[in-house]
Amino acid sequence: MPKTLYLIRHGETDFNSDPEPRIRGRIELDLNQIGIENTLKTASFLNNIHFDSVLSSEINRAKQTAQIIISESTINHNKHIQ
């Protein structure tokens, strides 16, 4: 049976919404309120999909996004990769 891979970008941070051009890269930033709300909407959309695992980078915003999605689903574990 074929497997499906879902790629989800991390939620918004204050740097994402800042019009000032910046190099963001691996700067440790948390999700802002809009990022949290949008990630909750994404989690709700994905709620009826069965996932075998969730992988994310170690960057805070990616981990927060993964943790929100996991908390709103039946997924019981999270693996982190870089």
Could you list the residues known to form a binding site, using ranges: 9-16, 61
User: Rounded distance, CA 24 to CA 14, Å?
Assistant: 11
Amino acid letter, 67: Q
- Residue numbers in the known binding site for substrate are 9-16, 61
Say how far apart CA 51 and CA 70 lie, in whole Å. 10
- CB hemisphere CA count around 1 (13 angstroms): 1
Helix axes 33-46, 60-71, angle to 10 degrees: 40
